[in-house]
Amino acid sequence: DAKTTQPNSMESNEEEPVHLPCNHSTISGTDYIHWYRQLPSQGPEYVIHGLTSNVNNRMASLAIAEDRKSSTLILHRATLRDAAVYYCILRDPGANSKLTFGKGITLSVRP
Amino acid sequence: DGGITQSPKYLFRKEGQNVTLSCEQNLNHDAMYWYRQDPGQGLRLIYYSQIVNDFQKGDIAEGYSVSREKKESFPLTVTSAQKNPTAFYLCASSPRVPPNIQYFGAGTRLSVL
């Protein structure tokens, strides 16, 4: 799988928007961009995915750069329950279906 | 409810003992995975299976074994050859078609006595 680069950590205030960046300069044309998050002592959960266009769902928005070499996960109003590790992963549909998880971004939310 | 069930939640292993972690899914997914997570680290792939009766080694398969006799079940055995088994073990499943979104269980925390 192509590699992604994320900051180690970020902080946010409750009820403010949060922008979590991810660089993936070696992305191929068929790689999907996946985001998962992991709350303490739980399994990861799927957040959102995209290919070329920006995407919105009930949890978050995904903004994808025009050249697809970077993306940003946007939480519109952070809550304390959003404090978690967020993983940005590239998924090549032409390969087998495994994912490669890095260390992710640890998001802290201040009350 | 549909989902992934891992059991037990906590498991203790004695020296020289094999232990088996259970993973069951009712999502009708073809693919299933086992990951290991050490404190402060990301997930590392142990084994994965894309179809019944077939599985492949991941990045850290040494000291582990799996079977896939049924679509809904993918048990992981931690053998005595795994010298540092203390970790958080996560099972996941996904469809085989893109984008292959993975769904995870709640995990099993394994410790050595």
Task: Tell me what the mean pLDDT of segment B40-57 comes to.
Answer: 93
Percent of chain A with pLDDT over 90: 77
Could you tell me which residues of chain A have a Cβ less than 8 Å from any Cβ in chain B? 32, 34, 36, 41-46, 49, 51, 87, 91, 93, 96-104
Token pair belonging to A110: 């201040």
- pLDDT exceeds cutoff 90 at B2: no
Task: Tell me what the mean pLDDT of segment B52-77 comes to.
Answer: 96
Which pLDDT does position B93 carry in this prediction? 95
Which pLDDT does position A102 carry in this prediction? 85
- Contact (CB, 8 A) for B34 and B61: no
- Contact (CB, 8 A) for A4 and A90: yes
Distance CA B73, CA B75 (A): 6
Distance CA B84, CA A99 (A): 23
- Residues B67-96 pLDDT 10s: 999 999 999 999 998 989 999 999 999 998
Average pLDDT value for chain B: 93
- pLDDT exceeds cutoff 70 at A93: no
What confidence tier does A89 reach under pLDDT thresholds 50, 70, 90? very high
Residues of B in contact with A49 (CB under 8 A): 99, 101
Hey, how many other C-beta atoms are within 10 angstroms of the C-beta on A92?
18
The dihedral region occupied by A92, where left means phi > 0, alpha psi between -120 and 50, and beta the remainder, is: beta
The one-letter code for the residue type at B27 is L
Buried b (16+ CB within 10 A) or exposed e, B36-73: bbeeeebbbbbbbbbeeeebeebeebeebbbebeebbe
Cβ B99–A34 below 8 Å, yes or no?
A: yes
Which pLDDT does position A15 carry in this prediction? 96
Task: Tell me what the mean pLDDT of segment B45-52 comes to.
Answer: 94
Token pair belonging to B64: 């582990």
Cβ B99–A46 below 8 Å, yes or no?
A: no
Task: Tell me what the mean pLDDT of segment B33-42 comes to.
Answer: 93
- Strands B10-13 and A61-64, by their bridges, are unpaired
Nearest to A62 by CA among A76, A52, A48: A48
- Report how far apart, in Å, the C-alpha atoms of B104 and of each of A28, A103, B33, B74, B91 are: 26, 17, 9, 13, 6
List the 79-98 stretch of B: residues with Cβ below 8 A of A. 88, 90, 92, 94, 96, 98
Task: Tell me what the mean pLDDT of segment B3-17 comes to.
Answer: 93
- Contact (CB, 8 A) for A110 and A16: no
- Residues A16-51 pLDDT 10s: 999 999 999 989 888 899 999 999 999 999 999 999
What confidence tier does A94 reach under pLDDT thresholds 50, 70, 90? low
